[in-house]
Amino acid sequence: MAPETSRPQAETRIITVGEQRLRIAIRSGNGTRTPLLLVNGIGVNFEVLQPFVDALNPAIEVLRFDVPGTGGSPAPRIPYRFSMYAWLVTKMLDRLGYQQVDVLGVSWGGALAQQFAFQYPRRCRRLILVSTGTGALMVPGNPSALAKIATPRRYQDPVHMEQIAGEIYGGKVRTHPEYAHEFAQTARPGSTLGYFYQMLGGVGWTSIPWLRKLRQPTLILHGDDDPLVPLVNAKIMHRLIPHSQLYIFHDGHLGLGTSAQELAQVVDLFLTAPVSSSTGKEYSLISSSIKNMHERKPPIQCQVSFFFVLQLAGFLGDTKDKGKGLLS
């Protein structure tokens, strides 16, 4: 990672895409790498991903945006479906002059990343899915944790956030309250209407029918202590996405920030590894480069439960399934 004083700084501004105003941030790279688009989780502004951005190779240009209704982007007039969010992303890329990007989506943003990669395959070179699932058809998480994210109160009340963060996010946040404090202080509440619109956008949506059609090399990152999205969902996606690889890390739902150094290294290796023209796979190179890789594990057979009603309480679910850091 670059020293603190030499980290490239991001330019933040407001742009208009159609009738929608979007707050964006662009951290310039050196022009040799495909730009990386980061898509946030539900109800949260792009600043919460700053630790990960700081840990990324400075050669990578990084684009972030506040989803409509969060941070500095006003809520849309009507709720968007994920297909409409994906369309908005393409128009944003057009407005900014990007022909193709690598896409990383976290939690709710992982669902949007899946939709974007499927709907606009030529605009997405490689796909990274973090702490996310397949939508209405997925294994649900801890009901208590899901109930606590049914409203944006945690973003509006930092004290409340710090009190419940360990229970809902798991991982290092359970034992290191400073992570919860930093997250609570960084998160800027959007509108309650915008939060509700984001939740409505996911109602009934699932990627299960078309995951096998994804063309992009895909990296799935998931923590082994995530009370919102069960680890088993990552394994299901890994089974369904043809050119995918699963990396399990020892952390929770906020691992992209609390394990930023580790995951930035994995992401950089994934984005730079060559792809075989015959198989589309580059994973053996990554596996040999990560020091904490363990033995390959056989695929786990999972039964997918129908998850629709609880989706209104936060869209994504949790796991007690523990794993080791691995690429398989």
Q: What contacts 8, CB < 8 A, 6 or more positions away? A: 2, 27, 28, 29, 58
Q: What contacts 3, CB < 8 A, 6 or more positions away? A: none
Q: 35-39, 53-57, 204-208, 280-284: lowest mean pLDDT where?
A: 280-284
Mean pLDDT, residues 87-103? 99
Q: 4-13, 194-203, 286-295: lowest mean pLDDT where?
A: 286-295
What pLDDT sits at residue 8? Answer: 81
Domains in the chain with CATH codes: 4-313 (3.40.50.1820)
Write the pLDDT tens digit of every residue in 224-263.
999 999 999 999 999 999 999 999 999 999 999 999 999 9
CB atoms within 10 A of CB 7: 15
From the list 107, 131, 244, 328, the catalytic residue is: 107
CA distance 282 to 92: 30
What pLDDT sits at residue 190? Answer: 87
What pLDDT sits at residue 279? Answer: 42
CA distance 310 to 203: 10
Mean pLDDT value across the chain: 86
CA distance 17 to 4: 34
Dihedrals phi, psi of 183, to nearest 5 degrees? -65, -45
Which two three-digit tokens encode residue 194? 């915008």
- State percent of the chain over pLDDT 70: 82
Write the pLDDT tens digit of every residue in 297-313.
333 333 333 333 333 33
288 tagged catalytic: no
* Residue 283 DSSP class: H
What pLDDT sits at residue 275? Answer: 76
Residue 116 C-alpha from the chain's centroid = 13
What pLDDT sits at residue 299? Answer: 37
Mean pLDDT, residues 83-93? 98
Mean pLDDT, residues 150-176? 95
Q: In the predicted model, is pLDDT for residue 31 greater than 90?
A: yes
pTM: 0.86
CB atoms within 10 A of CB 301: 8
Three-state DSSP string of 95-145: HHCCCCEEEEEECHHHHHHHHHHHHCHHHEEEEEEECCCCECECCCCCHHH
Helices 177-186, 158-169: inter-axial angle, 10-degree rounding: 130
Q: Which bin fits 135, alpha (ψ -120 to 50), beta or left (φ > 0)?
A: left
Q: Which helix (H) or strand (E) holds 245?
A: strand 244-249
How are strands ordered across the β-sheet holding 62-65?
10-17, 20-27, 62-65, 36-39, 101-106, 124-130, 218-223, 244-249
Question: 71-95 b/e with 16+ CB inside 10 Å = b?
Answer: bbbbbbeebbebeebbbbbbebbee
What pLDDT sits at residue 189? Answer: 84
